[in-house]
């Protein structure tokens, strides 16, 4: 015969598995590490730190952002892969870590240290944004059609700046040349600042730049914007058409910044982080949105984000492998 005490004991035992499961699903409960393959204060690092500050307040845990600079992000990615797949070590993935690097290494005959498509799960988008093709005023062109005509009349003579071999601006320059059927000379610099200086001084004729870094130059008429490498116009420059509007629909470049975890990380961690990042970026009462000017942060699910990155891998692999670009 079951006594009242015995029934209470059995009920308590029956509740233990459910209680244990709920305890396991509480994430995060301790410090989070966020590995960034870019320098402190960079266009990747800055927005990530802003989001991490809000996430720390939301979750009530410390978040340490660690900059592991070098080898185009593979140092940060390799360290993330050495950590347990428990969601407590996050990687900030960009085009370098998740798209371009693998194919650039392949062209140089080297084996990439990980499989971007299998080893990481993209979780939550921080931001992505288009570039703008700008020309120096002295070039004598005021539209994309005039630029293409001038380039075709002077093959190999016009110059376009790049922030380095294999960079996103290098690849979109190659894409533009191919789609427009022109031959411009790509000149490589060490990053965006010296490239901007080169176009202002007249050392190069054009470049792809991020919208927010050229806004003052455009206002001062030191640069002329011709087209946006997005599927739609951007609010900062509502009068600048897209390449698609001008007859080059494939000239799209949307460099991205996203939180990633190791494959095998529990699904509830992925869902929790995705929702948190989306909500904190969007802001709310007393918290302004975190998206940088000229950028966008659509609220993508992990599946939508993965599909976007897969599409980017296909597009840029075609450019990198056919142009035989190597680093």
165 and 212 co-located in one domain: yes
> 71 or 138: whose pLDDT is higher?
138
Question: Of 228, 243, 266, which residue sits at a domain end?
Answer: 228
Residues 110 and 158 in one domain: no
Identify whether residues 51 and 124 lie together within a single domain.
yes
Q: Is residue 315 part of a domain?
A: yes
- The predicted pLDDT at position 24 comes to 56
Do 110 and 138 share a structural domain?
A: no
Residue 171: burial class (beta carbons within 10 Å; 0-12, 13-18, 19+): buried
What angle (nearest 5°) sits at the alpha carbon of residue 103, between those of residues 132 and 77?
A: 90
Q: Which two structure tokens, joined as six digits, stand for 42? A: 């960079």
Whether 250 is in a domain gets the answer no
- Which segments within the chain are labelled E, that is strand? 32-36, 63-67, 89-94, 120-128, 132-135, 159-162, 185-188, 206-209, 224-228, 256-262
- Give whichever of 12-16, 70-74, 144-148 has the largest mean pLDDT: 144-148
More confident residue, 208 or 8: 208
Residue 153 has pLDDT above 90, yes or no: yes
Does the residue 292 lie in any domain? yes
Clarify whether residues 117 and 140 are in a common domain. Answer: no
Overall number of domains in the chain:
2
CATH code at 45? 3.40.190.150
Is the per-residue pLDDT at 204 higher than 90? yes
Q: Residues 213, 286: one domain?
A: no
Q: Is residue 236 part of a domain?
A: no
Quick check: is 194 in a domain?
yes
Q: DSSP code of 291?
A: P
Mean per-residue pLDDT, 125-136? 96
Residue 16 class from Cβ within 10 Å (0-12 exposed, 13-18 middle, 19+ buried)?
A: exposed
Does pLDDT of 188 surpass 50? yes
Q: Are residues 74 and 99 in the same domain?
A: yes
Q: How far apart are CA 24 and CA 206, in angstroms?
A: 54
pLDDT over threshold 60, residue 233: yes
For residue 64, give both structure tokens. Answer: 């340490």
| Same domain (yes/no): 79, 159 | no
Q: Round the CA-based radius of gyration of the chain to a whole number and report it.
A: 24
Q: Per the domain annotation, does 17 fall within a domain?
A: no
Is the residue at 45 inside a domain? yes
Instruction: Identify the domain containing residue 149 by its residue range.
Output: 132-228
DSSP 242: B
- Report the CATH number at residue 214: 3.40.190.10
CA distance from start to end of the chain: 78
Regarding whether 64 and 105 lie in a shared domain, the answer is yes
Average pLDDT, the chain: 92
Res. 17: pLDDT tops 70: no
Q: Is residue 71 very low, low, confident or very high in pLDDT (cuts 50, 70, 90)?
A: confident
Q: List pLDDT tens digits, range 242-260.
A: 999 999 999 999 999 999 9
Is residue 137 domain-shared with residue 181, that is, in the same domain? yes
Domain-embedded: residue 10: no
What is the CA angle 181-183-188, rounded to 5? 130
Return the structure tokens found at 46: 């800055």
Domain termination residue (choose one: 228, 246, 267): 228
pLDDT given at position 2: 45
Same domain for 192 and 149: yes
Q: Quick one: 122 and 35 in the same domain?
A: yes
Q: What secondary structure letter does DSSP report for 229?
A: S
Burial class (CB in 10 A: 0-12, 13-18, 19+), 233: middle
For the chain, what's the residue count? 327
Partners of 67 in the β-ladder: 36
User: What is the spatial distance between Cα 209 and Cα 87, in angstroms, rounded to a whole number?
Assistant: 34
């Amino acid at each position: 015969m079951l006594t009242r005490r015995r029934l209470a004991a059995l009920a308590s035992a029956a509740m233990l598995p459910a209680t244990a499961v709920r305890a396991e699903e509480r994430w995060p409960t301790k410090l989070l590490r966020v590995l960034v393959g870019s320098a402190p204060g960079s266009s990747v690092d800055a927005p990530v730190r802003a989001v991490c500050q809000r996430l720390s307040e939301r979750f009530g845990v410390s978040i340490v952002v660690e900059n592991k600079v070098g080898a185009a992000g593979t140092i940060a990615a390799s360290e993330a892969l050495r950590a347990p797949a428990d969601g407590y070590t996050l990687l900030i993935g960009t085009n370098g870590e998740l798209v371009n690097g693998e194919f650039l290494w392949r062209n140089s005959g080297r084996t990439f240290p990980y499989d971007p498509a299998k080893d990481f799960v993209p979780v939550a988008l921080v931001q992505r944004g288009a570039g703008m093709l700008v020309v120096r005023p002295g070039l004598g062109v005021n539209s994309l059609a005039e630029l293409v005509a001038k380039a075709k009349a002077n093959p190999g003579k016009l110059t376009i700046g790049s922030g380095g071999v294999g960079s996103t601006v290098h690849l979109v320059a190659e894409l533009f040349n191919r789609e427009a059927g022109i031959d411009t000379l790509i000149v490589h610099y060490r990053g965006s600042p010296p490239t901007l200086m080169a176009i202002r001084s007249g050392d190069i004729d054009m470049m792809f730049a991020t919208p927010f870094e050229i806004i003052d130059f455009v206002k001062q008429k030191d640069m002329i914007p011709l087209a946006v490498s997005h599927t739609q116009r951007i609010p900062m420059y509502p009068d600048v058409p897209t390449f698609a509007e001008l007859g080059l629909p494939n000239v799209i470049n949307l460099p991205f910044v996203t939180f990633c975890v190791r494959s095998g990380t529990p699904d509830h961690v992925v869902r929790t982080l995705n929702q948190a990042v989306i909500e904190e970026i969007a802001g709310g009462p007393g918290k302004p949105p975190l998206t940088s000017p000229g950028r966008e942060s659509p609220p993508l699910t992990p599946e939508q984000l993965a599909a976007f990155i897969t599409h980017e891998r296909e597009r840029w692999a075609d450019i990198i492998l056919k142009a035989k670009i190597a680093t």
